[in-house]
Amino acid sequence: MKNPRRITSGEAARVMGVDALFLRTMMQQGRLPIGEADVREGCSRWNYLISPKLLADYMGMTMDELWKELENVRS
C-alpha cells in the first residue's frame, strides 16, 4: 500500500498547477524550496523528497488544505 503521507513529484506538481518536469528541474537547481532533490554519485537517477510542510507553506495553505487537495489529486 502506498504511504498516504508521502508526496510524489507528480502529485506536488498537480497541486501547484505546473508540469512535473518543471517541478523536478526547479528542485534539482535548488530554486523550489519544497524539499530535497539529490542524485547519487555515479548514477544519473534523481531522488525527490517533498516535505508536506514546506509545500503547504510555499502554496500558502494549511496542512489540512494540502491533504484535502492531495485527496482530490489522488482520486
pLDDT for res 40: 86
Q: How far apart are CA 65 and CA 48, in angstroms?
A: 22
Closest CA to 34 of 70, 7, 14: 7
- pLDDT value at position 14? 98
Find cell 502554496 and name the residue.
59
What is the Cα–Cα distance from 38 to 50, expressed in whole angstroms?
Answer: 12
pLDDT at 3: 67
**Integer Cα distance of 27 and 13 in angstroms:** 11
The pLDDT, as a whole number, for residue 10 is: 97
pTM equals 0.90
For the stretch 18-71, pLDDT in tens is 999 999 999 999 999 999 999 988 988 999 999 999 999 999 999 999 999 999
Given a cut of 70, is residue 1 above it in pLDDT? no
